A and B are shown apart, each in its own frame.
Chain A
Amino acid sequence: MREYLNIFFVILRRDLILAFRNKAELINPLMFFVIVIVLFPLAFGSDSALLKQLTSGIIWVTALLATCLSLETIFRSDFEDGSIEQFSLSRYPLTLLVSAKILAHWMTFSIPLIVIALFTGIVLSLSSQTISALFITLLLGTPVLSLIGAITVALTIGLRGGMLLSLLILPLYMPILIFSMLAIQNAAVGQSITAELYFLAGILVLAITLAPIATAAALRIRLS
């Protein structure tokens, strides 16, 4: 058992080192997030009441799109330099190695994204309950985005047609968006949001158990 934990953390450490050495790939999606957020005030006029209502929705949808863009980085470089072949032929189950990579992607991408999202929430003067609801839903939602995203990335690495990934992914992201937005809206009016959080947590647990297995199977198919 200790052996499996050891390989898990070796792969995790390797991916974190790679992410921090190649800063550009880390920063780009976050820049995209901020720029898209800025677009909306330009569209609706900065002081309109409409914008106040929509802010949390804009933040969540933009976080979704930014994640879509960043998913490619999980497997593309490993696919090109043959590391995936070495992983799938190693003595350790591919599921374990893949979950280490997904966790690394979540840590290197989603945690900074949550920080920036909260920061934009404060700047755009959201109420404190909304911001706390935004934080919790992002905390529960973004791992699911990485997990389900990893399956489709594993299926579509190296295929021509860049939009294919988003076409496959967004329908699967809709429940996360729906439950998170409901939680935020309930929080804004002071109602309890436990029901939605239970759903998000349930989907998260389902994704944690099933997604790595599906990703490993998808990678094996993609290699064959």
Chain B
Amino acid sequence: MKLPRWIHQFGSPKYFYELSLWLSRWVAIVCVICFVCGLYGGLVLAPADYQQGDSFRIMYIHVPSAWMSLFIYMVMAVAGGIGLIWRIKLAEIVARSSAPIGASFTFLALVTGAIWGKPMWGTWWVWDARLTSELILLFLYLGYIALQSAFEDRRVAARAGAILALVGIVNIPIIHYSVEWWSTLHQGPTITKMDKPSIHLSMLIPLLFMVLAFKTFFISTLLIRARSEILEYECNASWVKQLLGSNNVTK
């Protein structure tokens, strides 16, 4: 199926290369603002939880990064699929650049989850359903990145990665449900306080700010990563030669 003209035009790397620097700067500013509000609200304003005391504040890092890890995997799968079907270079670049960010968010969710669990259960690692599926998600990310780096030809790597991401997306609900089923049967329905505690308004607003902050962080770092990918993709294109050939260093 043929896409309308303007998608290809917008998708042209040269146009995106100039746009991305300006865009990532603005998005970064929004991100910093959200971070400040979120952290201030979460760490200072929000009252301590009646059960967990102040340790619940780790939620402001754990919950957004857990959501982001899943969200970025979906972005990777969708962008990979678009790159695969319509062969749009930009989609492949987005998929390729978002993998490391997704992996670091998943790692973040795991570490903060383990630290949050320590005061409650006394052990660093607990086979809680959510933590286990985060761990498996991290394996999927590492598998994707390993596959990407195993190919020399960039275009083939991106398309192979797209297939793996699509297979992964189909498997994530299966993995999540099987881990839920497995953990409830083994430990019994532990009341995991990992869930958002009874959300009081003053706790919820900082959480929304933090989620927004993480999303804008993802977008702005993705744009930076995409720029270097574009240069490598397009190193033969004439516009790259003019841009760099006449040795005026941009940025």
Q: Does A159 contact B (CB under 8 A)?
A: yes
| Chain A residues, Cβ within 8 Å of B159 | 221, 224
List 11 A-B residue pairs with CB atoms under 8 Å apart, sorted by A's residue number: A155-B147, A164-B150, A175-B177, A178-B178, A179-B178, A182-B181, A199-B178, A199-B181, A206-B174, A214-B167, A224-B159
Residues of A within 8 A of B171 (CB): 171-172, 175
Asked whether B166 lies within 8 Å of A218 as measured between CB atoms, the reply is no
Report chain B residues within 8 Å CB of A160.
150
State the A residues within 8 Å of B (CB): 148, 151-152, 155-156, 159-161, 164, 167-168, 170-172, 174-175, 178-179, 182, 199, 203, 206, 210, 214, 217-218, 221-222, 224
- Beta-carbon contact of B182 and A182 below 8 Å: yes
Considering residues A155, A171, A179, A222, which has the most beta carbons from chain B within 10 angstroms of its beta carbon? Answer: A171
Contact of B163 among A148, A178, A221 (CB under 8 A): A221
**Set B146, B156, B164, B170: member contacting A210, Cβ < 8 A:** B170
> Inter-chain contact count A-B, CB under 8 Å?
76
Are the C-beta atoms of A214 and B166 separated by less than 8 Å?
yes
Contact A222 B160, beta carbon cutoff 8 Å: yes
Chain A residues near B150 (CB, 8 Å)?
A: 156, 159-161, 164
Question: Which residues of A have CB within 8 Å of B136?
Answer: 171, 174
The residue in chain B whose Cβ has the minimal distance to the Cβ of A199 is B178
- Whether B185 and A182, one on each chain, are in contact in the complex, defined by CB atoms closer than 8 angstroms, is yes
7 cross-chain pairs, A with B, having the tightest CB-CB distances, nearest first: A175-B178, A171-B139, A168-B143, A159-B150, A178-B178, A221-B159, A178-B182
Contact B181 A155 (CB under 8 A): no
Interchain CB contact (< 8 A) of A218 among B139, B160, B181: B160
Is the C-beta of B142 less than 8 angstroms from some C-beta in chain A? yes
CB distance from B220 to the nearest CB of A (A): 30
- The answer on a CB contact under 8 Å between B178 and A168 is no
Digitize B168-185: 1 where CB-to-A-CB distance is under 8 Å, 0 elsewhere.
101100110111011001
Using A170-B139, A178-B178, A221-B159 as known contacts, say yes or no to A152 and B164 having CB atoms under 8 A apart. Answer: yes
Q: Which residues of A contact B142 (CB under 8 A)?
A: 167
Residues of chain A lying within 8 A (CB to CB) of residue B160? 155, 218, 221-222
Closest Cβ of chain A to B216, distance in Å, is: 30
> Considering the chains assembled together, what is the distance between the CA atoms of A5 and B7 in angstroms?
42
Structural contact, A155 and B164, CB atoms closer than 8 A: yes
